[in-house]
Structure 1
Amino acid sequence: MNVDELTAIDVHTHAEVSSRGHASLADDLHAASSAYFKVEGDRKPTLEEMAAYYRERNMAAVVFTVDALSATGTEPVPNEEVAEAAAAHPDTLIPFASIDPFRGRAGVRQARRMVEEYGVKGFKFHPSIQGFFPNDRSVAYALYEVIEETGTIALFHTGQTGIGAGVPGGAGIRLKYSNPLHVDDVAADFPHLKIILAHPSFPWQDEALAVATHKPGVHIDLSGWSPKYFPPQLIQYANTLLKDKVLFGSDYPVLTPDRWLADFAKLEIKDAVRPKILKENAARLLGLTTPARP
């Protein structure tokens, strides 16, 4: 991957369908989230199609599935398939894995194998869908130990989710698990763990900013929302205290980088900060470049 030639690094994209056509979400949740995000047309690109899509835009993309088998009963897109696609398209795809924290010791073994044998760069957690508090020591802490030890990244969904939105009872998905303050405990207990808080964390935006400002290893990605809806305090911190810790993410395929970037161009972001958000901060965090310039 030639980072210097990339226009941007999207740190938040989803593999939603396997090569055999298996979807990672049940049909009702898929339909509801498409309605929530006002998605038009097909939103189930294959990994091959995702690679072509980002290559056409001269971008790289972090890609992952969500393993919430215990809570949903739905098998995820296999982590191995995601990693193999990234290996086949190293110029544009960067693999993350996702492991249901309730897999226990088997999940811990899988995490280590995904790093050592498949070269994944990080792990995606979705507390609301997976049904766990990130700071529950009995659930995910053994996974965090492997992630910290291997120098990979833990990416946590935070805030409200479009998954289950509009379905009776939210399909049983509880928002409380995704308060970023729960991740503050993780950052305190694993001081060398690299963490990304995904999304503007509505209704806990101030909490997310506080955690990222206080804990050196915590970053924020801007995925899942059009930038025109970003709260003013997020823009203020991105321009100042967190200018080296805020990352471009789209949430593709529910939100395209084209739409995100068009709206981002209209924000009052400092000229010196814009390239940090779009590429430099992610490249450094992922170990693709040398430390950031002042």
Structure 2
Amino acid sequence: MRLTFVLIVWSLAIAPALASAAPAPKTPVFDVHAHLREGEASLKTYEAEVSGAKLELAGFAGMWFGGPHQALQGDPAAVRQANDAHLALAAKHPEMLPVATVHPYDGQAALDELARVASLGVKVLKLHPHTQKFDASDPRVLKLVRKAGEVDVVVLFDNANILPGDSERLFNLAVQAPKTRFIFAHIGGMNFRFWNMLALARTAKDFFADNIFFDISATAVLVADSPIEEEFVWTLRNVGIDQVLLGSDYPQLPLSRAVDALDRLDLSDEEKEKIRIGNARRLFGLR
């Protein structure tokens, strides 16, 4: 009888502590960087992998080009056709946020296509200086991204720092187009240190519009549990946790690896929730 009483008292005392120690349920995740190179076949494979990893997917930004499929200069008709096919795929799959593209060097044709896809509900335009073979400092690029700001389209730029001066060019572009919101993918790759200067840019009156967001696809996978993880986390806080988004860079990397890398970074639960989904909801106006 006495033993039973002791066990009951112990369980009443310890149960609340155990409950409070249990990990909080994780929020759903929004993937801002998925390449659907083979259209619906890629989408189905992507979602099967996400389901197999037991992740709750709130949605994803899917782009049609990457790898062998590029939007190259001089064929705006082919770009328009690919954008239309992508929009049709998104209409069948409401969890997908369609990402369109153009080539900046196509001039007026690129501007017209940007305006057209924006009128059809596109919220994101992807540009890739390395694979599309253009210079981000070219005046035609500035004209295009300013147009994106006018039609309320976010510009997602590759920023893996493959090209010399990649981050510097993109920073100058964002400064010259203050009404346009940018996402710089991969946060500069192993040149992520450059972006700490945003903490100083914000102190210069009337200079920086705070219009830069980052996705941490691929780079977070590389730095989590590495000797430079502490510096990477410091960088995320300097650029602003509210400006950081989660991306997978599928199919090069699965979403499960991106989520695992984020989980292993020395960030608070609140910071991780913002990166997993909160910031994407705010940027794209998602529910």
Distance 1:257-1:223 versus aligned 2 partners, 3 A rule:
same
Match of 2:43 in 1: 47
Map residues 1-294 of structure 1 onto 2, 5 A cutoff: 7-18=28-39, 45-50=41-46, 57-59=55-57, 60-66=59-65, 67-70=70-73, 78-90=82-94, 92-117=95-120, 119-137=121-139, 139-161=140-162, 175-176=163-164, 179-211=166-198, 214=201, 215=208, 216-229=210-223, 231=228, 232-239=230-237, 242-288=240-286
Cα distance in 1 for partners of 2:38, 2:263 equals 31
Measured against aligned partners, the alpha-carbon deviations of 1:33-90 in whole angstroms (never above 9, x if no partner) come to xxxxxxxxxxxx4334445555774311101133442399xx7781212222112111
Higher-Rg structure is 2
Cα distance in 2 for partners of 1:270, 1:196 equals 23
Which has a greater percent of helix?
2
Amino acid in structure 2 at the alignment position of 1:97:
A
C-alpha RMSD over aligned residues: 2.7
How many correspondences in the alignment? 241
Cα distance in 2 for partners of 1:88, 1:146 equals 28
Structure 1 residues without counterparts, runs of 5 or longer: 20-44, 162-174, 290-294
Amino acid in structure 1 at the alignment position of 2:42:
T
TM value normalised by structure 2 = 0.75
| Secondary structure class of the residue paired with 1:156 | strand
Amino acid in structure 2 at the alignment position of 1:194:
R
Runs of 4+ residues over 4 Å off in structure 1? 51-56
Cα contact 2:199–2:238 (8 A) shared by 1: no
Measured against aligned partners, the alpha-carbon deviations of 1:125-165 in whole angstroms (never above 9, x if no partner) come to 1111122222211x22232132101111011101345xxxx
Cα distance in 2 for partners of 1:18, 1:132 equals 25
Identity %: 25
Cα distance in 2 for partners of 1:250, 1:71 equals 30
Distance 1:94-1:212 versus aligned 2 partners, 3 A rule:
farther
How big is the shift at 1:102?
Answer: 1.7
| Secondary structure class of the residue paired with 1:124 | strand
Match of 1:168 in 2: none
Structure 2 residues without counterparts, runs of 5 or longer: 1-25, 202-207
Cα distance in 2 for partners of 1:207, 1:199 equals 13
Cα contact 1:180–1:211 (8 A) shared by 2: no
